[in-house]
């Protein structure tokens, strides 16, 4: 499994490099204009606004519910059980609290997705248009899109890492804002967007659109990039280390995978990255997780394809038991 995951990383990188090298730099694709024209709008000067909201809602909701439905189905039939990272609690009271928290998060998702997000898209469109250009612009070559996507990921990752780390480092910020998200000891897909409004807007939402705004990407990426980020975040919160080819986070070995983020919730320490764990590796905020993985890989199949410990992380680490990685939270908050 480990070798297969590494092989997939190299194959994926090879395909991306080949697409970049052999794509025509000046190519433009008109199919996007046909898609936009097929979407009903509001007419007049607000036509593009309504079309943008409808397209964004359609893509983001499709990404969200596709993963929710498939995870639910595969969990029900038992296919995901061997990839589960934390056992289902046997205590009835804890089960009831988890179910109640999930219902609360589900209601929050509905409000966010169908009231707040469409309003944000609608009122933000003039600013998007200034940077991205007209909604009906032809799609540029992959030679243009790939660096933009990577640039968005780097900006998003840095923004999220430092703010996320600050919210843990400052007791007041953690207690009043970030603790809401950490009420999920065992995260699931509905925990992805369960956050204090300040964190949701300033850290999650702004971090996601900051790259596209700074780089002035094509309108398609204003929609597709947030959908990519949402899907990856949902996988990281799913509670299952879903294998390739069913998992986006298995594409590149250093991406923020489900085992890494699950550890962040269960132990409440380290692993502050969003897209990747590169900054965690650079600043040494992943060492406790690496120790945890080295223990878990020996006896739990779900960790076979978890991101491997890098050399500098092994220095000074003593593996005695799973407790040596840090102590899990001992209560449901």
Per-residue pLDDT reduced to its tens digit, 1-53: 444 455 666 777 788 888 888 888 888 889 999 999 999 877 777 899 999 99
% pLDDT > 90, the chain: 54
- Global pTM value: 0.86
d(CA 148, CA 153): 9
Q: What is the pLDDT of residue 312?
A: 44
Please count the structural domains in the chain. Answer: 1
Residue 319 has pLDDT above 50, yes or no: no
Q: What is the pLDDT of residue 287?
A: 84
What's the rounded mean pLDDT across residues 93-109? 93
Q: What is the pLDDT of residue 328?
A: 54
d(CA 333, CA 312): 34
332, part of any domain: no
Contact of 233 with 181, CB cutoff 8 Å: no
330, part of any domain: no
Q: What is the pLDDT of residue 311?
A: 45
Which of 157-161, 201-205, 225-229, 314-318 shows the lowest per-residue confidence on average (mean pLDDT)? 314-318
Contact of 98 with 332, CB cutoff 8 Å: yes
Position with higher pLDDT, 9 vs 78: 78
Q: Average per-residue pLDDT in the chain?
A: 84
Among 237, 240, 271, CA closest to 254: 271
Which residues lie below 8 Å from residue 28, measured CB to CB, with a gap of 6+?
A: 138, 139, 140, 141
Domain assignment of residue 213, given as a range = 2-325
328: how many CB neighbours lie within 10 A of its CB?
16
* Dihedral sign of CA atoms 169, 170, 172, 173 in order: negative
333, part of any domain: no
The tokens describing 151, both together, are 């640039």
Helix (H, G, I), strand (E, B), or coil: what is residue 276? strand
Position with higher pLDDT, 249 vs 113: 113
pLDDT tens string 234-243: 999 999 988 7
Q: Which pLDDT band holds residue 308 (cuts at 50, 70, 90)?
A: low
Residue 320 has pLDDT above 50, yes or no: no
Q: What is the pLDDT of residue 24?
A: 87
d(CA 179, CA 168): 9
263, part of any domain: yes
What's the rounded mean pLDDT across residues 42-69? 91
Residue 151 has pLDDT above 90, yes or no: yes
Q: Which pLDDT band holds residue 331 (cuts at 50, 70, 90)?
A: very low
279, part of any domain: yes
Tell me the C-alpha to C-alpha distance, in Å, between residue 70 and each of 192, 238, 256. Answer: 16, 11, 21
Contact of 79 with 243, CB cutoff 8 Å: no
6, part of any domain: yes
What's the rounded mean pLDDT across residues 131-139? 92
d(CA 234, CA 214): 25
pLDDT tens string 273-283: 988 888 998 89
Q: What is the pLDDT of residue 102?
A: 94
Assign 3-state DSSP to the chain and report helix, strand, coil percentages, each to 5: 65, 0, 30
Q: What is the pLDDT of residue 114?
A: 92
């Amino acid at each position: 499994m480990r070798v297969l995951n590494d092989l997939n990383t190299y194959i994926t990188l090879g395909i991306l490099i080949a697409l970049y090298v052999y794509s025509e730099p000046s190519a433009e694709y008109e199919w996007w204009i046909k898609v936009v024209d097929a979407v009903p709008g509001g007419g007049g000067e607000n036509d593009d606004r309504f079309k943008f909201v409808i397209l964004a809602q359609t893509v983001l909701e499709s990404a969200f519910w596709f993963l929710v439905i498939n995870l639910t189905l595969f969990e029900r039939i038992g296919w995901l059980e061997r990839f589960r990272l934390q056992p289902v609690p046997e205590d009835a009271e804890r089960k009831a609290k988890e179910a109640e928290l999930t219902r609360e998060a589900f209601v929050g998702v509905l409000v966010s997705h169908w009231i707040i997000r469409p309003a944000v898209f609608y009122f933000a469109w003039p600013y998007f248009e200034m940077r991205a250009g007209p909604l009906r612009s032809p799609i540029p070559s992959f030679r243009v899109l790939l660096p933009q996507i990577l640039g968005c990921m780097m900006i998003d990752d840095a923004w999220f890492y430092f703010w996320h780390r600050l919210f843990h480092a400052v007791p007041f910020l953690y207690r009043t804002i970030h603790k809401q998200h950490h009420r999920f000891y065992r995260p699931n897909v509905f925990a992805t967007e369960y956050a204090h409004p300040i964190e949701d807007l300033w850290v999650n939402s702004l971090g996601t659109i900051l790259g596209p705004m700074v780089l002035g990407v094509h309108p398609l990426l204003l929609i597709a990039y947030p959908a990519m980020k949402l899907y990856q975040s949902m996988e990281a919160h799913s509670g299952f280390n879903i294998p390739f080819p069913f998992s986006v986070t298995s594409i590149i070995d250093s991406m923020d995978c489900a085992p890494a983020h699950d550890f962040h919730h269960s132990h409440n320490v380290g692993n502050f990255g969003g897209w990747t764990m590169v900054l965690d590796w650079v600043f040494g905020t992943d060492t406790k997780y690496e120790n945890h993985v080295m223990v878990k890989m020996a006896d739990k199949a779900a960790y076979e394809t978890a991101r491997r410990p890098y050399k500098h992380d092994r220095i000074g680490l003593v593996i005695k038991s799973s407790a040596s990685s840090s102590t899990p939270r001992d209560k449901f908050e």
